[in-house]
Structure 1
Amino acid sequence: MARQLLFVQGAGAGAYDDWDSKLVSSLARKLGPIVEIRYPRMPDEADPRFSVWSSALTQEIDKLSEGAMLVGHSIGGTVLIHHLARMPPKIELAGVFLIAAPFIGNGGWPSDEISSTSDLGAKLPRIPIHLYQGDADDTVPPHHADLYAAAIPAAILHRLERRDHQLNDDMSEVAADILALL
């Protein structure tokens, strides 16, 4: 039976079809049939709301089996990590992978819906958490990864040279780390 992976898209008009589908395709090519990728369309991608996306995540995570992995890109990663801090999953996860996720709080972006959490790591399940940030990202400033690393001290930070917000549509490093957990 294939391991399950839930990929949470980023936000913005067309993000699901035009942008993040390329990341999912890259992962699928690199991981092959040993991982079943679930890629649900998040509600109202052009105007994401934490409460709405968090509710959708609860439903999606409840469909997963033990040992599943979660990947979140951009705002999807931000919502995912804060959702896990507020509502730990009922199952044991193998790992969480955040790609170019904006940090909410001091030094990062403001939010009316997500409160800043400097001790985010203390509220998360004890599982491997990987952070990926391209140094050529012109959407989310690269220092946001440092803010996450400070808030989640056990997280593993991966800085990727000459990679943009979409990691140049190449998920090689993420796939390698996922395969290492299998």
Structure 2
Amino acid sequence: MRAILTIAAVAALAACSGEKNEGPTQREQIGQTWKYEGGKGESAKGAKVAYIGSANAVQTMTAPDTFSVLLVQPLKNGTADVTVKLVGAPFTCDLSDCRIKARIDGGKAEEWKGRVATNDDGITIAPSQGAYAAIRKAKTVTVDLVVDGKEQTAPFTFNVAGLDLKG
């Protein structure tokens, strides 16, 4: 037990020492343009997932730069699972009624229903909700996510133009 406390104290001191990590932040690594994984090279051909970070970040109780990530995972039937994740703050969703509000190109808000993502850090939107079709045709998508507690929401905007998942 004493060893665990010592390790925790050293880690806390290192975190408070003011030394900055020279590498890019997670938000910088993800970026705000589409990235593809699982395909051939860096292209979208045959990609198993495409992802993009939100163009904005918000300050929350847990992080000064909470942001969101949008993941699109193509399915064999031509549709795709869409997952919206929150990075920097805990994701909150009513498990019996998990939904988010989305606006496509600044239009009227619509609700997308889904289930809590595998890592409990977002919501996976069912293909039947039409999120993938909307994202493919859009220039921007804005989603409202709960960022502090159960009431406070923040809009996260994605510049989604250019998604290319052709196999």
Question: TM-score of the superposition, structure 1-length normalised?
Answer: 0.24
Larger Rg: 2
More helix by share: 1
More strand by share: 2
Question: TM-score of the superposition, structure 2-length normalised?
Answer: 0.25
